[in-house]
Amino acid sequence: MRLFVGLGNPGSKYQGNRHNIGFMAVDDIARRHGFAPWRRRFQGETAEGTLDRERVILLKPTTFMNESGRAVAEAANFFKLGQGDIVVFHDELDLPPAKLRIKTGGGHAGHNGLRSISAHVGNDYHRVRLGIGHPGIKELVHAYVLSDFAKAERPWVEALCDAVADNAALIATGKEGTFQNKVHLAMDAKGFGAKDNDESGPKSAT
């Protein structure tokens, strides 16, 4: 069994935000693969289905971003899952728009959703990093991630979520490297290839 966690903030106010691309990705997985309807539990919303005979639980925490780990820990404990069974889909400032990278472990790079998950379940879970680019100035990051994708960005956002959904069975069955390569090939084929630039309290939405 795998737990696929999409990160974002609940409510229509945040629905189109760059910070919510993790929600968008798991929503596409649910639609593409005919998962059961979403239902509320584990301080979030879950949908269940199967990818290449592997049972997968999709989870969208409804705790707001900086408390995401509470929902992840509750679900992981219920299903008795280890860190290696958890895959988190999240926005990544340090990757160009339309680029994807997958990694296991590592720091949170200031992402409060990852910070919370690591605090609750440990650090050695898988991360699917969905590049949204960086506004260029640290002081602009908060407003940038909580702003909607521009109209001109929507084609690559849809293409990236489509590619993730199309190849989700690979990551469900432990083929992370193949998953990453397949997504890159799909994005290149759609004309969205990008050069690599990566590796260079109260509830909060960020």
Residue 92 lies in a domain: yes
Residue 204 domain-assigned (yes or no) = no
Q: Which residues are catalytic?
A: 19
Which domain CATH number covers 53? 3.40.50.1470
Q: Is residue 106 part of a domain?
A: yes
pTM (2 d.p.): 0.91
Instruction: Tell me if 206 is assigned to some domain.
Output: no
Number of domains, the chain: 1
Q: Is the dihedral of CA 182, 184, 189, 192 positive or negative?
A: positive
Place of tokens 């309290």: 201
For residue 148, tell me if it sits in a domain: yes
> Is 203 inside a domain boundary?
no
Q: What is the Cα–Cα distance from 82 to 127, expressed in whole angstroms?
A: 14
Q: What is the mean pLDDT of residues 122-138?
A: 93
Lowest mean pLDDT: which of 91-105, 134-148, 159-173, 192-206? 192-206
- Structural domain including 131 reads 2-189
In this structure, is residue 184 part of a structural domain?
yes
The answer for residues whose C-beta is within 8 angstroms of residue 139's C-beta and 6 or more apart is none
